[in-house]
Structure 1
Amino acid sequence: MGVIVITGGSRGIGACAAEYMARRGMGVILTYNANPAAAHAVVQHIEQAGGKAVALKLDVADVGSFAAFRDSVVGALSETWGVSTLAGLVNNAGYGLFNPMESVSEAQFDGLFGVHLKGPFFLTQTLLPLMGNGASIVNLSSATTRVATAGVAPYAAFKGALEVLTRYMAKEFGERRIRANAVSPGAIRTELGGGLNDEFEALLASQTALGRVGEPEDVARVIAMLLSEEGAWINAQTIEVAGGYII
């Protein structure tokens, strides 16, 4: 089924998606920034299950490092899988920040912008020559683009822009049959934004039609579907994976 790059693959949704995709027969190049041990643990878990994976360091906010990262991807494709093209890219890396607009600093704004919008734009541009015809791009958005949640304005704004960018990717890459879609998780049990305490989790579950918060696996399954033949006729869409959050 080809080889996929997934950014932020050392924990949370990214790690779960990497393992889920590997179980479905995909080769996985997962990236990490600050925690190589966690990334290599994911690789080891994939290999123990019979899959193939490589972990590469990448700071999604550092556009200047992307050319060297591309060279590392080329090397991994050749050395590990004996191929020269990618079948997919998952722009997943990110972090949360809870801060009301009145107290957001310029540095905090720029940091979120770099990771959630500028980084995915230029990383996709950099890896595009490696992507085979018929490949798939999945961008991770957020249900905060639909439901306004006080304290996450910059994060949500950039995720909303990423959804627009997704449609433009689908439009511009369509001649090569490269599909682009966004996945928009609701409340998920991850470390993003500091994780969930019991009280906050109970509140979120009460606001969700299915009566619970999501698990990383709930999102990973949808990402894998969009990267596979099962999603071959889905393009330019944002799919909310939220169990019916605030409907």
Structure 2
Amino acid sequence: MATKSKIALVTGGSRGLGRNMAIALAKKGIDVVLTYNSNRIEADKVVAEIQSLGQKAAAFQLNAGNVKSFDEFVDKISTYLKEQTGAPNFDFLINNAGTALYAPFAETTEEQFDEVLNIHYKGVFFLTQKALPLINNGGRIINISSGLARFAFPGSSTYGSMKGAIEVLTRYLAKELGARGIAANVVAPGAIETDFGGGHVRDNKEINDHVASVTALGRVGLPDDIGGVVAFLCTEDAKWINGQRIEVSGGMML
């Protein structure tokens, strides 16, 4: 009898790093439920790619900053999982969904601050809380942070400080969920070439060259540099890693 596949929930899995994580998880034999904010077409393409790898996949709409929508979202995925597997549970929660904000500290508005807070911290806090009853004992939580929580680039004070909050929260999750055998870790990418922030790093040659110049391995990161690390943390090989921040930046700003 074939062993049942483990299941991962990846927020923001329709594009960029989240897409890469979802596909890397599928390559490890893990089924994937992914969320998208607005682009159903791209989400469906990721689902099809995962299915072509022989794993189950489904996509659900989620605004990761709208906490009031989370109860309905959790109900939807638990119903889907019950239909697919007979149980509403999954194993791995990857809190990846995010947006960029580039604004000097002195000019950041309260509205901008609140939007980043809701998506990058409050949303992660309460989605994880509401998903907890569905996460199997022995599961994993992986929160996505950023190199910007360790080093400072002007214009990222709001985003970087929210990621700092995520890193502290992750240690608390590791401590408080240890009795259930659930490990919680942070993956912190450096600057990556994606459409994140309107392709800020990918399309601006000056920024791209600068990042490469301050990175020990001499180039800007690519999505393929990140997804496999997240997938690794969902394998048995990583079972004793807990409460850790793993920066995946090629040695940026050492």
Runs of at least 5 residues in structure 2 that lack an aligned partner in the other structure: none
CA drift of 1:78 comes to 1.9
Find 1:89's aligned residue among 90, 93, 98.
93
The CA distance in 2 between the partners of 1:209 and 1:76, in whole Å, is: 45
Contact residue 80 and residue 88 of structure 2 kept, 8 A: no
The superposition leaves residues 51-99 of structure 1 with CA deviations (integer Å, 9 ceiling, x where unpaired) of 2100001111111111111111112212233433111100000011111
What is the DSSP-based 3-state SS (H/G/I as helix, E as strand, rest coil) of the residue aligned with 1:89?
strand
Determine the structure 2 residue equivalent to 1:30: 34
Q: Please, which of 208, 223, 226 is the counterpart of residue 216 of structure 1?
A: 223
Q: Which of 61, 64, 68 pairs up with 2:68?
A: 64
Q: In the TM superposition, what is the alpha-carbon distance from 1:199 to its structure 2 partner? A: 2.7
Alignment partners' CA distance in 1, 2:206 and 2:156: 19
- The answer to whether the 8 Å contact 2:17/2:226 transfers is yes
Q: Deviations over 1:29-67 (max 9, x none)?
A: 000011111111110111122221000011111111111
Larger CA deviation: 230-239 vs 195-204: 195-204
Determine the C-alpha separation between the residues in 2 that align with 1:81 and 1:140: 28
Q: Which moved more, 1:194-203 or 1:155-164?
A: 194-203
The one-letter code matched in structure 2 to 1:170 is: A
The code of the aligned residue for 1:96 comes to A
**What aligned pairs does 1:135-214 form with structure 2 within 5 A after superposition?**
135-195=139-199, 196-197=202-203, 198-214=205-221
Residue aligning to 2:46: 42
> Any idea what SS the aligned residue of 2:171 has?
helix
Residue 21 of structure 1 corresponds to 25
Counterpart secondary structure, 1:47: helix
Match of 1:134 in 2: 138
1:107 pairs with one of 108, 111, 117: 111
The one of 121, 124, 140 aligned to 1:120: 124
Report what 2:240 is aligned to. Answer: 233
Q: Percent identity?
A: 47
Q: Which residue of 2 aligns with 1:74?
A: 78
Structure 1's unaligned 5+ residue stretches are none
Structure 1 residue ranges, 4+ long, deviating more than 6 angstroms after superposition: none
The letter for the 2-side match of 1:154 is: T
How many angstroms apart in 2 are the aligned matches of 1:191 and 1:97?
13
Q: Deviations over 1:210-239 (max 9, x none)?
A: 011111111111101111111100000010
Aligned to 1:242: 249
Tell me how many residue pairs correspond in the alignment.
247
Q: Which amino acid aligns with 1:155?
A: Y
* TM-score using structure 2 length: 0.95
